[in-house]
Amino acid sequence: MKNLRYLTLLTAFAVLFLSSCKSDDSSSDNTDDTAIGQENRLPLGESAEDLLANIVFDRLEVEFVAIEGFEPRAETVANLQTFLEERLNKPGGIVINQRSVAAVGDAPYSTDEIRDIEDAVRNSFNDGSTISIFILWADGASVNDTQFNKTLGTAYRNTSVVLYEPTIREFSNDTGEPGRVALESTTMIHEVCHLLGLVNLGTPLTSDHEDPINSKHCIVEDCLMFFQTEVVGIVPKFRMKNLMDVTPLDPLCIADLQANGGK
Ligand SMILES: [Zn+2]
Ligand SMILES: [Zn+2]
């Protein structure tokens, strides 16, 4: 019985950890470049410095859209505001505009289908000295999910992130699982950090801490940007952590952000 419980937990944590890192899908974008917002339809990592520094843009607007019924917890939104204010140089301010919209697609979603949803509902694009990012809370799972590997979130354009809220709910708030706010926030901020160019994804390395096997992730096990595909080693990490806390960035990742214009 104990073994079974352990196995169940082990599977759950392996799934969680693997999935928070399915974030490097920067495959080509077929969107018409002549349309408004073309600066927001570039490959992942292209706007890292623009997001971090106060050079071209001094203000950030976050368009934060949930499909009705799949909104994250209010504390998750507050955690995003706190993180962005801590790390981004935006003296003009950081504003999160939150709203919900009716379902517009059929789950499970491919990244192309998520792009289509974004194109249907996104209103906010770079404008003057304001840079815009788009965060979507989807009403279904990723089409890439398997029995063993589920995706919680993906960063898929230079200013776009999707979170698969039903999957996050499935793997949070039960005994031995992370709290809902902790899992929502950790996944969301991990994906936002890919927009900020971590790791070696538009923000240059200031030290040798990119995982040589799992590229664009950090080798430091306690870091928000850590990614390990092996199940062994993941469970002890999670079992030792407070499951109600948002995982923070380690000093090496913070140093990269600071060297690329962040705080
Ligand atoms: Zn990742
Ligand atoms: Zn790190």
Query: What would the pLDDT profile of 90-145 be if each residue is shown by its tens digit?
Result: 999 999 999 999 998 899 999 999 999 999 999 999 999 999 999 999 999 999 88
Dihedral angle of Cα 44, 47, 52, 55, to the nearest 10 degrees: 170
Question: How many distinct helices (H) and strands (E) make up the chain?
Answer: 8, 5
- Residue 181 near residue 141 (C-beta atoms within 8 A): no
pLDDT at 146 over 90: no
pTM beyond 0.75: the answer is yes
> Quick check: 29 pLDDT over 60?
no
Q: Is the pLDDT of residue 23 over 70?
A: no
The predicted structure's pLDDT at residue 11: 38
More confident residue, 210 or 32: 210
| Residue 226 CA, ligand 2 centroid: distance in Å | 6
CA–centroid distance, residue 109 to ligand 2 (Å): 29
Task: Report in angstroms the alpha-carbon separations of 141 from 9, 69, 155, 165.
Answer: 21, 14, 15, 8
Name the band, by pLDDT with cuts 50, 70 and 90, for residue 238: very low
pLDDT of 34 above 90: no
Please indicate whether residue 64 or residue 234 has the higher confidence score (pLDDT). 64
The confidence score (pLDDT) of residue 177 equals 80
Q: Residue 137 has what pLDDT?
A: 98
Asked if residue 8 has pLDDT above 70, the reply is no
Identify which ligand lies nearest to the alpha carbon of 226.
2
Rounded percentage of the chain residues whose pLDDT exceeds 70: 81
Q: How far is the CA of 34 from the centre of ligand 1 (A)?
A: 30
**Structure-token match 């971090």, residue found:** 52
Residue 162 pLDDT greater than 80, yes or no:
yes
Considering only residues 183 and 72, tell me which one the structure prediction assigns the higher pLDDT. Answer: 72
The bound ligand whose nearest atom lies closest to the alpha carbon of 189 is 1
Ligand nearest to the CA of 218: 2
Instruction: Give the model's confidence band at 28: pLDDT under 50 very low, under 70 low, under 90 confident, else very high.
Output: very low
Alpha-carbon distance of 210 to 207, in angstroms, equals: 8
Question: Ligand 1 centre and the CA of 60: distance in Å?
Answer: 22
Determine the distance separating the centroid of ligand 2 and the alpha carbon of 133, expressed in angstroms. Answer: 22
For position 148, what pLDDT does the model report? 76
**Ligand 2 midpoint to CA 203 (Å):** 13
Task: Answer yes or no: is pLDDT of 60 > 90.
Answer: yes
What is the average per-residue pLDDT within 247-262? 96
pLDDT score recorded for residue 175: 81
Q: Pick the ligand that lies closest to the CA of residue 193.
A: 1
Q: Does 252 score more than 90 pLDDT?
A: yes
